[in-house]
Structures are given as structure tokens and as C-alpha cells.
Amino acid sequence: MYRKGEVSYQALPLPDRVQLPPEESLRAAQDFLAYMRKRHSVRQYAPDPVPQAVIAACIAAAGTAPSGANHQPWHFAAIADPGMKARIRAAAEEEERAFYAGGAGDEWLAALEPIGTGVSKPHLTDAPWLIVVFAQRWGTTEDGQRYKNYYVPESVGIATGVLITAIHHAGLVCLEHTPNPMPFLNNMLGRPAQEKPVMILPVGYPAADATVPAVAKRKKPLDQILSLFP
């Protein structure tokens, strides 16, 4: 985390090691792959409550992510209040109506057709929690001076990936919801202008009748996403 006046490098011995022998490393990687294949983006949520401590622990895990110059240019707002969730849903659906009424363009709408999305976003009120991810374009020191953040989209993307993985590891599901634009979230959640809302994650347990789009199970084979140069 950036602090004014800290401009010198200090090395610390590696605090933790999780190194495994090659055979165990392969087994661990394969086990993790099988586990992550059980992660699904879900739109239907059970009404069961999720303890606040679980949500806080998942966000704390996201906060361990690497970031440009270690500036950690992110903020997470976790909302369980039903009234606030309802206002977020209403504002998001207003943006979605413009999107589906022509703002997206025919090609984009055609690409979304197999996903089964639409204007209505009941998951924003059905899920027990919403986590709004903000990207901080710049930061301010304790005395109010502005400083630049670096690699903000990359850093926030990594942290969000860690958060989604932590949510899955906690036995929960989420949905990556990105209404655009989303400036209403700054006003509603009291976040400063330099923070850009980039994602809303409804978080909870899947409903008993939860479904996923069949197309979501189609993943590119390894030979299409990997180039090896041994």
C-alpha cells in the first residue's frame, strides 16, 4: 500500500513457502482444475442467509492479490440491505432497458442469446449479498494529496478473480454482472469520483432449481488456449 515518503526498497526473507515436489505439484494442480470445473455462474439464488464474516473473509482474500506498485487500487462494497439492493436493481434494469433496446447492437445481442440474459435482474434482489467492485483510478495520501495508480484494470481484474475463487471455495456461487454505465453506484454507496464501478457480484447459495446455460459448459480445449515452447 502506498504511503507518502516511503521511497526506498527493503527486502524481507520469503515469509511463506508452499513448494511441493513435482509429483505432488501435478496432483495438486489437477485437483484444483477439477474443483474449479465445479464453479458456475448462477442467476437463481436460495433465500438462505450468508454470514457477514464469510463475505468479509472472501473480500480479504481478494485483497491479497498482486497489484501495480502494490497500490491495491480496489474497493469492495458488500450490501445485504434489502432496500439498497432493490434500488441497485432498479437502476441496473434501467440501464439494461437501454442496452437491449438498441444500445448494444445486433451482434452483441446475438452473442448473448445463448446465455439467456434479459432486462430483468432478479438475482440483484434475490441473492443475500451484492459485492460491488470498484477500481480506483488514483489514490490520495493521508493529507489529501493525489497519487497515480498503475495497471489498474489488470490489478482489479486479478483481485476480482481471486474473489470469485474465494466465493467458490466458501461453498457459494456468484454471477459476474456488469451493467454499463454504473455511476449511480458511486452516489448510492458513497464512493468517491476517482473510483469506477466495474462489476456487481450477487453472492449466495444456488436455488434448488438453479440452472446454467448449456453453452456455459463449452470451454475452449487446452490446445486452443495454450502455446508451449519447451
User: 9 lies in a domain?
Assistant: no
Q: Decide if 226 is inside a domain.
A: no
How far, in Å, are 51, 176, 188, 198 from residue 82 at the CA level? 15, 20, 14, 21
Q: Is residue 58 a part of any domain in this protein?
A: no
* Ramachandran category for residue 187: left, alpha or beta (phi over 0 → left; psi -120 to 50 → alpha): alpha
- The verdict on residue 137 lying in a domain is yes
Q: What is the pLDDT of residue 109?
A: 85
Say if CB 195 and CB 137 are below 8 A apart: yes
CB 208 within 8 A of CB 46: yes
Backbone angles phi, psi at 150, to 5 degrees: -120, 145
Domain enclosing residue 154, as ranges: 72-205
In a domain, 195, yes or no: yes
Look up cell 526506498; give the residue: 8
pLDDT at 177: 92
Opening angle at CA 49, ends 210 and 53, nearest 5: 120
Give the full edge-to-edge strand order of the sheet including 173-174.
Answer: 74-79, 129-136, 195-204, 173-174
Helix (H) / strand (E) containing 125: helix 123-126
Domain contains 121:
yes
- Looking at the structure of the chain, the number of domains it has is 1
List the alpha helices (DSSP H) in 123-221: 123-126, 152-169, 184-189
Does some domain include residue 222? no
pLDDT in tens, the chain (230 residues): 777 777 789 999 999 999 999 999 999 999 999 999 999 999 999 999 999 999 999 999 999 999 999 999 999 999 999 999 999 999 999 988 888 887 778 898 888 898 888 899 999 999 999 999 999 999 988 888 899 999 999 999 999 999 999 999 999 999 999 877 788 899 999 999 999 999 999 999 999 999 999 999 999 999 999 999 99
- In angstroms, rounded to a whole number, what is the distance separating the alpha carbons of residues 21 and 39? 27
What CATH code is carried by the domain that includes residue 99? 3.40.109.10
Q: Would the pTM count as exceeding 0.75? A: yes
What is the structure's pLDDT at 50?
98
Q: Name residue 201's beta-bridge partners.
A: 131
> Quick check: is 33 in a domain?
no
